[in-house]
Structure 1
């Protein structure tokens, strides 16, 4: 029988050729579902990310040009290899219609080895 305490341990799987931190999730937002889909599809077609998830509308409250704004936005979360970040960021800056789009990258510190291998394959 497996050690039951092992079930509570986080996965520390590594990428095929290095630590899991070689992968990122990258988030952006946009003001329509169609624009979110276009950004997601372009990144996948260009192999800039292995997967992009579009979340249902969120309400964003922020200050812009001196005024507090409230808008509905769609979040797009990309799963990518760290080596592809610069190209993904350049794509988002070029393809996005916001003057200053949100582009936030978070390192993946743990993940399933099979999934990370798939991300590496799809972004190469």
Structure 2
């Protein structure tokens, strides 16, 4: 991985495409994600407060590192309209070394000092 950094794919749900785009752009602009993908909108079927609900939803997939995950999750919660957004990280167990290094470089925190 990039300098030993674990690269993560973070799956996040949003209320709609506009919200997902707003969150994705903020994550990239703020250096918390190297890239964000917005797949096609989908339908979510879930249990919430004792009832089954079915609603349109938009997902986003952010590429980041384990070192930046907590900050990314805090930012998603701050930007999301959901009371409890799905924020789940999956490790990139293998991948193109150059791509993984690029992810690490894009989300490296600024040097302090």
Task: State the Cα distance separating 1:16 from its structure 2 match.
Answer: 3.3
Mapping for residues 1-124 of structure 1, pairs under 5 Å: 15-18=1-4, 22-124=6-108
The answer for unaligned runs of 5 or more in structure 2 is 109-113
Root mean square deviation, CA, Å? 1.0
TM-score normalized with structure 1 length: 0.84
The answer for unaligned runs of 5 or more in structure 1 is 1-14
The answer on whether the counterparts of 2:3 and 2:101 sit within 8 Å (CA) in structure 1 is no
Q: Deviations over 1:31-61 (max 9, x none)?
A: 2110000000000011000000001111110
The answer on whether the counterparts of 2:2 and 2:103 sit within 8 Å (CA) in structure 1 is no
Task: State the Cα distance separating 1:63 from its structure 2 match.
Answer: 0.8
The answer on whether the counterparts of 2:15 and 2:81 sit within 8 Å (CA) in structure 1 is no
Q: Deviations over 1:99-124 (max 9, x none)?
A: 01101111111010010111011111
TM-score normalized with structure 2 length: 0.91
Over 4 Å off, 4+ runs: none
**What is the total number of aligned residue pairs between the two structures?**
108
